[in-house]
Structure 1
Amino acid sequence: MRAIALALAASALLLNVPASAETNSDAFAKKGFFTHVHDGRLWVLSEGDKDIELVSRNKEPKEVTTRIAAGPNNMTIKSNKPDVIDAYLAAEK
């Protein structure tokens, strides 16, 4: 388990992502959005979206849009709808 934590921290450094981001989705929270970090990628869904339960269990919805290095700290950002990513990136914290 310790080896996994060290590997995640090393990956975070290489990707310029704070290691705390691996476990703290609150750092990326914005009003009106559900955020979840998994495997160094930021998932963003609209508040109340039907896929929140699925994503929070680290499962992928049927439809996924991915934007590599488009999120905060150059994180890959994923969502079930491309317009949700656009709205999240344009939203104020």
Structure 2
Amino acid sequence: MRMLALALAASTLVLGACATGSAEHAKMSFHKKGFYTHVHDGRLWVLKEGDKDIELVSKNKEPKVVVTRIAAGPNNMTIKSNSAEVIDAYLSAK
């Protein structure tokens, strides 16, 4: 019984740490001039400012075209966009 209690306590700590990590990402600013950025579920969405898909992404919905690069964003975040060119431009922007 004691082992079960220890296992439950350990899993609670791990899950809490994961949730905290996502919350920390949400608070971090990944903004770069000329881009709209939005963190959802620990993934960084990047669109060009003024893009028609900003409204969808801001409501945590996906556009028709989604390009995903796993662990390519800041802090090894997955980065998503509606265009590979936008991801490349964002990653090379200062």
Name which of 10, 21, 27 aligns with 2:25.
21
Shift of residue 8 of structure 1? Answer: 1.7
The CA distance in 2 between the partners of 1:43 and 1:91, in whole Å, is 15
Structure 1: segments with no counterpart, 5+ residues: 1-5, 13-17
Instruction: Report the identity percentage.
Output: 71
* 1:57-76 to 2 correspondences below 5 Å: 57-76=59-78
Partner of 2:89: 87
The CA distance in 2 between the partners of 1:73 and 1:67, in whole Å, is 13
Partner of 2:48: 46
The CA distance in 2 between the partners of 1:90 and 1:8, in whole Å, is 29
Larger Rg: 2
Shift of residue 67 of structure 1? Answer: 0.1
CA RMSD of aligned residues (A): 1.7
Q: Which is bigger in relative contact order (C-alpha 8 A, separation at least 6)? A: 1
Partner of 1:55: 57
The CA distance in 2 between the partners of 1:70 and 1:59, in whole Å, is 21
Shift of residue 20 of structure 1? Answer: 2.1
Relative to its length, the structure with more helix (as a share) is 2
The 4+ residue runs of structure 1 with deviation greater than 6 A are none
Shift of residue 19 of structure 1? Answer: 3.7
Q: Does 1:34 align with 2:46?
A: no
Shift of residue 21 of structure 1? Answer: 1.6
